[in-house]
A = this chain, B = another copy of it.
């Protein structure tokens, strides 16, 4: 089980090690994906393309992950929609090849952007609609309705901020998400007046 020291490693041993490491990464990424509401297989296809770095075609993906052609087709299509993989071609080969975005931060930006668009924005829209139901124009409004509106406002404010942030940092032309994150990491604990204890 202990890997042979690099000096004595044969080519075959190295290949096996590579494969093992890739498989483990694929499995971890898949687990993570499914915890966050992305289908395990879709995450695995993505992991495979990312970790190998190579463009792969449908058959290669099918074989490597032991999944059906239809499943590959659907997963790959979804990944294209998310904008985290690209279609490429090889001279003299009719097959479609797929290649993952190689920069992790660009990848995360794409994911964040899509998720906000798909899940936060619809929530905001619902909140708007709900607000229309409950006019708070007059102070004659019963107390409970007013309290409700206060709560809805709080949620709305918060998710709107998220949506704005995502446009700013995760948009296709967005400023660096990476640098923003590093900036925050360096920010002294306790900065800002909103600190709690």
Contacts and interface: CB of A to CB of B under 8 A. Distances in A.
Contacts of A184: 165, 168-169, 180, 184
A170 to B, nearest CB: 11
Given A133-B21, A168-B184, A191-B179, A108 B151 contact: no
A98 interface: no
Interface residues of A, number: 88
Contact of A108 (B120, B158, B168, B174): B158
Given A50-B151, A140-B7, A158-B104, A193 B179 contact: yes
Contacts of A151: 50-51, 53, 102
A143 to B, nearest CB: 10
A63 interface: no
B164 A189 contact: no
A145 interface: yes
Interface stretch (A24-32, A73-81, A89-97): A24-32
Contact of A183 (B6, B130, B190, B192): B192
A135 B14 contact: no
Contact of A175 (B129, B180, B191): B191
Given A22-B148, A28-B126, A119-B36, A175 B194 contact: yes
Number of copies: 2
A99 to B, nearest CB: 13
Interface in A127-181: 127, 129-130, 133-135, 137-138, 140-142, 144-145, 147-148, 151-152, 154-155, 157-158, 161-162, 164-165, 168-169, 173-181
A133 B192 contact: no
A123 B24 CA distance: 11
Contacts of A66: none
Contacts of A178: 158, 192, 194
